[in-house]
């Protein structure tokens, strides 16, 4: 990789990390290419970005994005996206299925976090679940009224039949 290619990659990652609500660093040592591609497919479907990058280039990208305190060792994959809960869920679910895929830590907002914090985020309800709960609460009065009217109609039909 030439110097200009490295600079372009650092600029691209810096922009991605600035715009992302969450960046998770994962270790993928010992995984096959097929397993790694399976994660990339899962990430792509969830709208996440994922990239294996040299530690020095990733550290420069984090520094350019205004994030201090990230130290990268050994093999690393950066996974990022706008919704911290969606990123955490995708990474945690894949880590449960593949023991070689290990969450090391990351950045949520502007805060550097450890793997435990990312695991906590993965257990929170996501946007879709919360919207579903809200819709259920909004429609409950109408649903109850319809059930009441239906029961009333059945009761009157039984009274007329008797």
Going by DSSP bridges, is the β-strand pair 22-27/102-108 parallel, antiparallel, or unpaired?
A: antiparallel
In tens, the pLDDT along 80-115 reads 888 888 888 888 888 888 888 889 988 888 888 888
> Model-level pTM?
0.73
Cα 120 to Cα 126: distance, rounded to the nearest angstrom:
12
- Angstrom distances, CA of residue 68 to CA of 107, 112, 146: 10, 8, 57
Going 64 to 59 to 115 to 84, the CA torsion angle's sign is: positive
In tens, the pLDDT along 49-88 reads 888 888 888 888 888 888 887 878 888 888 888 888 888 8
Going 107 to 110 to 112 to 116, the CA torsion angle's sign is: negative
Phi first, then psi: what are they for 129, rounded to 5°? -65, -40
Cα 80 to Cα 65: distance, rounded to the nearest angstrom:
13
Cα 55 to Cα 61: distance, rounded to the nearest angstrom:
10
Query: Which 8-state DSSP code applies to residue 25?
Result: E
């Amino acid at each position: 990789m030439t110097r200009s290619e490295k600079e372009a990659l650092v600029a691209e990652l810096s922009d991605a990390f600035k715009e992302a609500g969450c960046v998770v660093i994962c270790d993928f040592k010992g995984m096959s290419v097929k397993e790694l591609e399976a994660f990339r497919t899962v990430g792509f479907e969830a709208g996440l970005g994922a990239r294996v990058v040299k530690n020095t280039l990733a550290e420069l990208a984090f520094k350019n994005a205004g994030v201090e305190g990230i130290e990268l060792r050994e093999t690393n994959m950066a996974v990022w996206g706008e919704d911290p809960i969606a990123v955490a869920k995708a990474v945690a679910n894949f880590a449960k299925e593949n023991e070689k895929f290990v969450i090391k830590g990351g950045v949520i907002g502007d805060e550097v976090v450890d793997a435990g914090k990312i695991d906590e985020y993965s257990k929170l309800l996501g946007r879709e679940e919360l919207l579903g709960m809200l819709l259920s609460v909004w429609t409950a009065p109408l649903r109850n009224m319809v059930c009441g009217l239906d029961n009333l109609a059945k009761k009157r039909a039984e009274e007329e039949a008797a």
